[in-house]
Amino acid sequence: MGILQIALVLLLIGGGWTLLTRGKATRERDALTLRRVDAYIETIRRERSNRELVAMSDSELRDLLHSGARNYRIAGQKRGWIVLGVGAVTLMAGIVVGSQDGWRGFGIAVAVGAVVAYGVNEFLLRQSRAPLERHGVDVERLTIE
């Protein structure tokens, strides 16, 4: 068997394993998110610092916090893919520029790409936090590492 065939077999095994365990990880993450949401609801009720959140019923607040946490997690995944794409474009641009200008051109292209990737990441991070922060929700209380 060649190296390519071995790599393909390992890729298929790894992909199958990921598909089998992804559902369990998603259920565990959702359960943890619901526990964090319930704890945050108790904190909101106890502190009474945000009038808009205190005025909501528990079910409204739970829906707002749970959907906000889910949307924030999905936006984080999208942000990761977009930054990965920017990194791939940066690498390709660096290779093209490096083949014409050498190491100096490669370094400049990668530096510019790094600044662009950082800017895109920060923009998307702030954009994903904005809907929750408009309601006065502390996003860090809902994030799961």
Query: What mean pLDDT value characterizes the chain?
Result: 89
Residue 1, pLDDT above cutoff 60: no
Q: What pLDDT is stored for residue 72 in this prediction?
A: 93
Q: Which amino acid does the sequence have at 36? A: R
- CA 19 to each of CA 14, 15, 31, 106: distance values in angstroms, whole numbers, following the listed order: 9, 6, 19, 38
36, two tokens: 């964090």
Query: Do the beta carbons of residue 139 and residue 132 sit within 8 Å?
Result: yes
Q: Indicate whether 127 pLDDT > 80.
A: yes
Q: Structure tokens of 123?
A: 């923009």
d(CA 135, CA 75): 18
Average pLDDT for residues 106-129, to the nearest whole number?
96
Q: Are 90 and 113 in contact (CB under 8 A)?
A: yes
The predicted structure's pLDDT at residue 138: 87
Across the range 89-96, mean pLDDT stands at: 93
Task: Give the confidence band of 71 by pLDDT, cuts at 50, 70, 90.
Answer: very high
Rounded to a whole number, what is the distance in angstroms from the first to the last CA of the chain?
Answer: 40
